[in-house]
Amino acid sequence: MIKSKRYIGVYYNILENKDKSYYITYNNGSKKVWEKVGKHSEGIREAFCSQYRADIILRLRLGEDTPKDLRKKNNKTLHQIALMYFEKKDYKGKSYTTFWGRYKNHIHPTLGEKFINDITEDDIDTLKRLKKELSIKTISLIIEMLNSIFVFAIEKGFVKKNPCTKIKIKKSDNARERYLSLDEIELLINHVKDREYLHLFVLLSLSTGARLHDVFCMKKKDFNLIDKTVTIKNRKGNSTYKAFLTKRVLEVLEPKLLELRNPNDILYKKSERTIQRQLQQVLNELFNVGLDNKDSKNRVVIHTLRHTFASQLAIAGTPIFTIQKLLDHKSIEDTLRYAKLSPDNGRDFVEGLF
């Protein structure tokens, strides 16, 4: 156990995965008490532990129940339930960061310290109003997470009713429709051709349709230069699939692969966040000038490169089931959005009516 250098009564352990587990200690009048507060990965910090400890000491002086006593009475706060919920879900890596961030940033500040039995539909409506600047989809995801936490709490017997069940969210019509034309593709490629990491990323994305994270998972052993293919690990679909490498990609890719010594070496040495930030800045300068930040239908983002790959395939007359295979979509329903771009979508038949 390591003692905090800044705060009295605050300690931590360093776990095997390099995470930190925080504890506090205080005297309840008869004995010394040790209490686990939470982990660094859960958003817990030394300053929070110190304030939490100070609150407990104040409650003891006033003769009130401490948070630990309240837990014994089965009267838990939403945050206490949420910590148990996340422990059960056991999210990994980026998934944990995404879901925990959603809870920590959007739910906890408003409802986290309320006792779960006291949270009502009005509280959730208030949460919705406070988040009105967010997109409808984001608000929907926030309420969906809150609903999941309540379902978990009901299963564990901490609460009987779920106040989320009657909360209605308007359906959003913000599906991304934007894709790059052939001229825009050339404009983008020429714009980044002197920035080798951006250049290679753009070429790989446009010729394979791979998602951002999937490109950054590519290793030397995934590429087959004889067959001119790459094996892509689809993190979202938890699968692998083959994609084809064009001559234009290979010209830039082959020198990079020669620099890698071991089969398990990652293609990209720069961080995903760095490439994401730099490329999005380029896309904004080229295609998003004057567009509202909330105009998700028309804004060009990094995922637009995947849509462009599929859209240009459809425009070229590629069968929809082939596009499904190349995108590694599990359901044809996900691919049918591109069918309207196909030259055999019925336009010629309609034109011939009169």
pLDDT tens profile 207-262 = 999 999 999 999 999 999 999 999 999 887 678 999 999 999 999 999 999 999 99
pLDDT tens digits, residue range 37-85? Answer: 888 888 888 988 898 888 888 878 877 666 655 555 557 889 989 998 9
**Mean pLDDT throughout 107-118?**
89
Tell me: pLDDT of 347 over 60: no
Place of tokens 């906890």: 108
Phi-psi region of 286 (alpha: psi -120 to 50; beta: other; left: phi over 0): alpha
pLDDT in tens, 324-335: 999 999 889 888
- pLDDT score recorded for residue 282: 96
The CATH number for 2-70, chosen from 3.10.20, 3.30.160, 3.40.50, 3.40.630, is 3.30.160
Q: What mean pLDDT value characterizes the chain? A: 87
Beta bridge partners of 242: 231
pLDDT of residue 31: 86
Contact 49, 22 (CB under 8 A): yes
Using DSSP bridges, classify how beta strands 10-14 and 2-3 pair: parallel, antiparallel or unpaired.
Answer: antiparallel
Which of the 8 DSSP states describes residue 318? -
- For residue 76, what are the contacts with CB-CB under 8 A and spacing of at least 6? 70, 115, 116, 153, 158
Write down the domain spans for the chain: 2-70, 78-155, 182-341
Residue 254's pLDDT is 94
Residue 346 has pLDDT above 70, yes or no: no
* Homologous superfamily of the 182-341 domain (CATH): Intergrase catalytic core (1.10.443.10)
Q: pTM score, two decimals? A: 0.58
Residue 179 binned pLDDT confidence (cut-offs 50, 70, 90)? very high
* 174: Cα separation from own chain's centroid: 18
* Rounded Cα gap, residues 182 and 34, in angstroms: 64
What is the distance between the alpha carbons of residues 306 and 288, in angstroms, rounded to a whole number? 17
Indicate if the pLDDT at residue 172 is higher than 90: no
- The pLDDT, as a whole number, for residue 198 is 93
Residue 344 confidence (pLDDT): 66
Model confidence over 146-171: pLDDT tens digits? 999 999 999 988 888 899 988 877 66
